[in-house]
């Protein structure tokens, strides 16, 4: 089963169809940002103070949410869609699809590699939502904002929960914090509907392999615990073409291209890690896979049965991104 552990720094729409090859699009449509946000988003229905239980199991009393610092990239798009305006956030980690990325009224904390805690001090937050890539900076965040309510968005290291359970629990928590329970429930409903749609579209006779492309290399992603693909094997009960031991390593697992070819997968489920940064130096995943001499005779390549996750997936990984992938997988499986 795909599980989620607390991770440190180092652990880290439409569908374009070519035959049955599908490349995931952005998790945001091209509509203006203001159209994507909830019209009533600025009118929170919550009355502070409130007490919530964060993802780490801590009871946290939130006196106010007038000034909020958000560091967890799984939260960025959700709060943007709900109209919650952080005072400070690592805008450098956001994708250009998120309207907050270019909003200079939001103090930029920088990346987890070089965080600027002075911006947190300047924000003087009432509430800090911390997690994921900023996990290792929890103490520094609390020192920079000693009077703020600190909500840990990570589960404890010894508490392994499925990724889908995490997505549901975390968005439900955010709904409680910001008085957006109905919006959170709608996201959960959309997620469940997308799971059902993709599961119904999938033929278990189709063998699937998860791949990660990074640095112009093609790497295997385990169906059990691989980065990117594993949750979908679990949720959709996909039939793995190869079930070798793997890891959640960002750049994939070191299994030879020959072993990938010998598995003769019918369908490739791909995370293009470099697409998240779009520096123009890496070959797009679809091109890299379809032009690989070693993979020429693989059924997935011959039939162009290749689904590449949205370009911003690696930097979002929220319930919205997962729902998008599931919806697009349903279409991809249906085209076979």
Domain architecture of the chain: domains with CATH? 3-30+186-334 (3.40.50.1980), 33-185 (3.40.50.1980)
d(CA 58, CA 288) in angstroms, rounded, equals 45
- The Cβ of residue 160 has, within 10 Å, a number of other Cβ atoms equal to 13
| pLDDT value at 241 more than 70 | yes
What is the reported pLDDT for 278? 67
In angstroms, the Cα distances linking 204 to 23, 228, 328 are: 21, 20, 17
Question: With bands split at pLDDT 50, 70 and 90, how would you rate the model's confidence at 34?
Answer: very low
| pLDDT value at 39 more than 90 | no
- Model confidence pLDDT, tens digit, residues 247-299: 444 444 568 999 999 999 999 999 998 887 766 678 999 999 999 999 999 99
What is the reported pLDDT for 6? 35
224 versus 40: which is more confidently predicted?
224
Task: Tally helices (H) and strands (E) across the chain.
Answer: 12, 16
Contact yes or no for 88/123 (Cβ under 8 A): yes
| pLDDT value at 35 more than 70 | no
- Model confidence pLDDT, tens digit, residues 114-164: 999 999 999 999 999 999 999 999 999 999 999 999 999 999 988 889 999
Of residues 260, 263, 266, the one with CA closest to residue 208: 266
Name every residue whose Cβ is closer than 8 Å to that of residue 103 and which is 6 or more positions away in sequence.
91
What is the reported pLDDT for 280? 67
């Amino acid at each position: 089963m795909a599980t989620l552990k607390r991770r440190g720094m180092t652990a880290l729409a439409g569908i374009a169809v070519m035959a049955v090859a599908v490349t995931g699009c952005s998790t945001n449509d091209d509509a203006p940002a203001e159209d994507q946000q909830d019209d009533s988003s600025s009118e929170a229905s919550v009355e502070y103070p409130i007490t919530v239980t964060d993802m780490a199991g801590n009871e946290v009393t939130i006196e106010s949410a007038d000034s909020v610092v958000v560091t967890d990239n799984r939260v960025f798009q959700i709060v943007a869609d709900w109209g919650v305006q952080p005072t400070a956030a690592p805008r450098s980690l956001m994708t250009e699809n998120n309207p907050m990325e270019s909003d200079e009224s939001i103090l930029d904390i920088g990346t987890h590699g070089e965080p600027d805690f002075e911006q947190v001090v300047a924000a003087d937050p009432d509430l800090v939502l911390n997690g994921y890539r900023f996990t290792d900076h929890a103490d520094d965040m609390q020192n920079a904002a000693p009077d703020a309510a600190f909500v840990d968005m990570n589960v404890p290291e010894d508490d392994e929960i499925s990724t889908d359970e995490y997505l549901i629990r975390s968005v439900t928590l955010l709904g409680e914090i910001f008085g957006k329970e109905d919006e959170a429930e709608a996201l959960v409903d959309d997620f469940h509907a997308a799971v059902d749609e993709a599961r119904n579209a999938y033929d278990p006779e189709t063998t699937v392999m998860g791949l990660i492309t990074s640095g112009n290399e093609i790497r295997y992603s385990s169906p059990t615990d691989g980065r990117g693909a594993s949750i979908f094997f679990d949720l959709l009960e996909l039939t793995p073409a190869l079930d070798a031991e793997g890891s959640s390593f960002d750049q994939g697992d070191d299994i030879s291209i020959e072993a990938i070819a010998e598995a003769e997968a019918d369908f490739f489920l791909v995370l293009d890690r470099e697409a998240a940064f779009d520096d123009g130096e890496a070959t797009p995943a679809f091109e890299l896979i379809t032009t690989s001499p070693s993979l020429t005779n693989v059924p997935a390549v011959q039939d162009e049965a290749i689904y590449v996750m949205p370009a911003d997936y690696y930097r979002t990984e929220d319930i919205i991104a997962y729902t998008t992938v599931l919806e697009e997988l349903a279409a991809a499986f249906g085209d076979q």
